[in-house]
Chains A and B, each alone.
Chain A
């Protein structure tokens, strides 16, 4: 690739991924993005300017050596590239799919200052997929056991990345998961059409082959408290990566009507329990064929839910969001995909109440128009209702996707662990140490609902701190 001058590199346009046709994909659960071909990947890799001091790396929460792996792709060494990524990230096929690269590595890309940034996420995904499809997935080297045991609570992104780093360093690592499947939000939250579950399973298998132990159906706070893990089960340290899985409701009239779901329930039924394959699978979900479905919220979860409802057959699928599109927390790509698939956006609109029939079934929603006022503490302009602008819309199913709080099960049973007013665990941001000796925390349980990659970054940071603590014993 040395033949190309920077100028020539700048002239190559960013390659978009091949996608399933919107009309077709909005009715199936197969992945929307189909990925790069090897040729496209090499060309895209050639767009990288090989900056002497790459800014993209600092934009990545787990600091993948981006320049190096892209160089390897440009040279056609795809397996070498994925190995390079795995030095810092155990789950590249997942991150390449669900990271908001436009706010992270790609935001920091120099090429992006003048045109479109290098498609770092697509490239990461390409090599991870290439490795998986080759059937020769490499297992990172593991140091000889140092005899120390670490318990990881929660098998979501934070727990998985923490487990990988500690295992590599020679710790005996056990991950406890409350659900019957591993992966946390990767399996119950993010739909198949964005992240095929087979990929999650394969990436977790890699950790199993490294010798990380997993226990499903094990709910910490009930079968063991954190104290019991340390005092009776012999764990030298504990990492809490239990996420923010407690759904918020709107607190409006009619929220308990039949047909009203939290996004967590709606998505868990579909993704984890495979309710879209009922009665092949036993868990049902309300039939959305020719029905009107409204999803309240503007984040990625809302986009996942509304796009899922289309795939369940919805005639009209609405996003009801109280601010304007500019303030939506969802990824630009998800909003674009939702629009292409036919989702109808009701912006600057808020639900006032849900309307039911005599038998307790949802029939409609009363909405109110909003306007934007001064910015609030989140920095976004505060939505204010416009009096008298109420109107009603017939709906059959409603999904509430306005966010999640931290699940209190672990902290309630371990009062020594300091929590904030919002119920999140308070940690030292440098070491991820909680107020209880030997216990670390990271991911959504610390930050509140955030991203997969930030949780993974927190897991890495905690792994380094746990190693430091267990090597020198000082708290």
Chain B
């Protein structure tokens, strides 16, 4: 059992958790992830480690409630427990002094990009961060990002805060200004990562993406997370999750991530139905 020592919402449906996991906290490096299982009937899902405190023995994860498991997790509060947390998994981000490094985070991807942006800064890079959200109320980790950036930009799709437009438009604008970019890291939804790869490709800017395929064990024993990179099949859990963006077959990744969408919907509907029932029972009990 792994204890949650802090739980707080960063934005609607996006929650930060600090979890007691001293061994993982001590060992983890930027870019690595954990697999968690909430309870006896739970599934195993991968979540990137956004931060850690080896002294306190905690790791931080940031979770967006999109399906059954993430929504159930986001109901957890300080003091609750998670049955299984295993990690650190995956290869750490490859960090070196590239020169000017751009970290791009889309939505909850901002939290995943954070540790790598921090590591890039510590390695002596000039760090530019671009973090995108649909609207102002969904912007997360703005302060944290500023602290690890030489230049920090927020973009919103609706223009309610920061730059009006997509992260790729901001990236293109930087290139058009004549900034010499040496390295780009992009983490977020598949269409966003693909769009970033398309922007940097003609300029030959080294670009890395952190892929998010479906995983089961996360230790290389099933190949459920296989992705095609430069025409070759790779296991994202052990060979990645970071890969050369210009070699990734995003189309295949997008198709594969839809494999269980029918089941995901069914599980979520059942969960939400049960939540409603629980609330009704609670209301009756309180009234009684």
A residues in contact (CB < 8 Å) with B: 178-180, 216-219, 222-224, 245-247, 249, 255-256, 258-259, 261-262, 264-265, 268-269, 273-274, 278-284, 286, 359-360, 407-409
Contacts and interface: CB of A to CB of B under 8 A. Distances in A.
A268 B233 contact: no
Interface string B213-253: 00011011111101110000100001000000000000110
Interface residues of B, number: 42
Nearest to B251: A360
A282 B224 contact: no
B35 to A, nearest CB: 9
B270 A279 contact: yes
A268 B221 contact: yes
Nearest to B83: A180
Contacts of B85: 217
A258 B219 contact: no
B255 A279 contact: no
B259 interface: yes
Contacts of B37: 180
Nearest to A216: B84
Contacts, number: 114
A247 B223 contact: yes
B152 interface: no
Name the prevailing secondary structure of the A interface residues: loop
B139 interface: no
B159 interface: no
A272 B24 CA distance: 24
Contact of A282 (B42, B87, B221, B223): B42
A180 to B, nearest CB: 4
A259 B115 CA distance: 35
A264 B41 contact: no
B67 to A, nearest CB: 9
A217 B256 CA distance: 27
Contacts of B211: none
Those 3 A-B pairs whose CB atoms lie nearest each other, nearest first: A360-B255, A284-B263, A265-B222
Nearest to A404: B221
Contact of A264 (B222, B258, B267): B222
10 contacts: A178-B219, A180-B37, A180-B83, A219-B89, A223-B24, A223-B88, A246-B220, A268-B222, A279-B266, A407-B221
Interface string B23-52: 110010000000001000111100000000
Contacts of A280: 41
A360 B213 CA distance: 15
Contacts of A408: 220
B84 A255 contact: no
A282 B38 CA distance: 10
B68 interface: yes
Contacts of B220: 245-246, 407-409
B74 to A, nearest CB: 15
Given A180-B84, A223-B24, A262-B223, A282 B43 contact: yes
